[in-house]
Amino acid sequence: MKTTTRANFLPEPRFVPLRPALQEHLAKLGEAVTPSNFLSICDEMPRKLLKETFDRIAADEGSIWLLDEEKKHLVVAYNSGPNTDSIVGFKQPLGKGIVSLVVASENAFVENQVYKNAKHSATLDKKLHKTTYAMIAVPFYFLNQVRGVISCVQLLDVMVHDGEAAATGTTPAGFGPHELNAIQTISAVIRDLIDYRMLGTAVGWNRR
């Protein structure tokens, strides 16, 4: 039987006195990230991994929401689905909707028939002329702070007849613990990739 050993890497003593300065600089870098410049630090590779995860769990749309500079709104900085042009830049007041609850509580959320949940905001649904059937939302961290939410949804088409809206088409399969775990895992992967990139920027070590 093949045995493995744990690599025991310790901090370099010469770097320890520089830790507070590095942490301060990284905090400033984190505060400088906004919904409008986010894609410059979350480039093609993490976005590809994220989209593959959304596709694998049969999400119709998947988004990264970021807190704006005033910490008063969540803004969609990235979207993977066919309605990207309508969704990216969408702004929702903090304190409204399930994504805001996820930021405030830092707890993940998964639910089917979410349109029946009184805390669900239908503002984006109305814009897209869709109904959200299933939703996953997980807190999104980088540089040791919650910065927003990664969410994905399955949608129902909506038809309006005589002023009444009704869902049409096939009901989606919905989300469960397996799909939630997939989104939590990719959220952690993207966090680590961004942290690595920001650390590399701070010390001038980014690969070209």
What integer pLDDT is reported at residue 58 of this predicted model?
97
Residue of 100, 31, 97 whose CA lies nearest to 72: 100
The segments of the chain whose pLDDT lies below 50 read none
pLDDT at 168: 67
- Collect all residues with Cβ–Cβ distance below 8 Å to 189 and sequence separation of at least 6: 46, 49
Amino acid 164: pLDDT: 55
List helix spans (H) across the chain. Answer: 19-32, 44-56, 84-87, 98-105, 123-128, 177-203
Name residue, tokens 């989104």: 183
Which domains are present in the chain? 16-203 (3.30.450.40)
Per-residue pLDDT at 124: 93
Which residues, in sequence order, are CB contacts of 39 under 8 Å at separation 6+? 47, 77, 78
What pLDDT shows up at residue 207?
62
pLDDT the model gives residue 161: 54
Q: 146 - beta bridge partners?
A: 141
